[in-house]
Amino acid sequence: MNKKPKTIFAFLSLLLIMSLACGTFGTTPTDSDPVDFATEESNQSQPTAVPATPTKIPTNTPRPTNTPVPPTATAAPIGVPSSNSDYEVTVLYARYFGKVFSGGFEYTPLTYGGQFLDVGILIKNLQPDTQRNIPWQNVYIVIEKTNESFYPNFSGSFVPSNDAKFDPATLFLYPEDTFENIVFDDIVYLRGVWATDGSKPATYYFGFDASPLIEVVID
């Protein structure tokens, strides 16, 4: 008669042990179970890779040979307007700098120690009834020591409303393979950039279409 209670007690003890064991194993994550910290990591913002900035070396492109450099007795200096029957041209500033950033690229001059020549210009149309449509190939510099002429490696233009004043040094620079013609009725601000050897002192002559040249001295 005393054996039955012992058997029931043993059976209940076995059930209790199995229940505790199952509960313990049920709370332990396995390789096949989703893990919370993995989800949290995937939701965290990952650092954005910053691409390296490639460096390009532009090559000066000569002006078309069928566009002659207009003769001039004495070139006007920076800040002094130079006029003919079509235009009044004023070089507002000229300076050297080392690099150009445009379209995600960094550009450096071709020669070691070279510099970019940055020139800001104001053009007034003296025939306002005639809209001007000028290709950038007719915006150029002449290098005095070599007598070679080139149109810009980079450029920008802006036509203000109501002839408002504007600083062309703030214009974004576009590479020469994206140049569009300069179209304006009254005035336009231009910015042209040329790769040079960076020598000082140096003398250049700026020309726009068939207007007289303007002397640009960097010293």
150: Cβ contacts below 8 Å, ≥ 6 apart: 60, 61, 62, 63, 140, 141, 143, 194
Q: What percentage of the chain exceeds 70 in pLDDT? A: 66
Mean pLDDT of 25-36: 40
pTM of the predicted structure, to 2 decimals: 0.70
Predicted pLDDT at 80? 94
Q: How confident is the model at residue 64 (pLDDT cuts 50, 70, 90)?
A: low
User: What tens digit of pLDDT does each residue of 121-139 get?
Assistant: 999 999 989 999 999 999 9
* Neighbouring C-beta atoms of residue 121, cutoff 10 Å: 21
Mean pLDDT of 78-88: 95
Burial classification of residue 50, based on how many CB atoms lie within 10 Å of its CB (0-12 exposed, 13-18 middle, 19 or more buried): exposed
Q: What percentage of the chain exceeds 90 in pLDDT? A: 58
The H or E element spanning position 91 is strand 87-97
Domain ranges of the chain: 78-214
CATH 1.10.10.10 at 78-214, yes or no: no
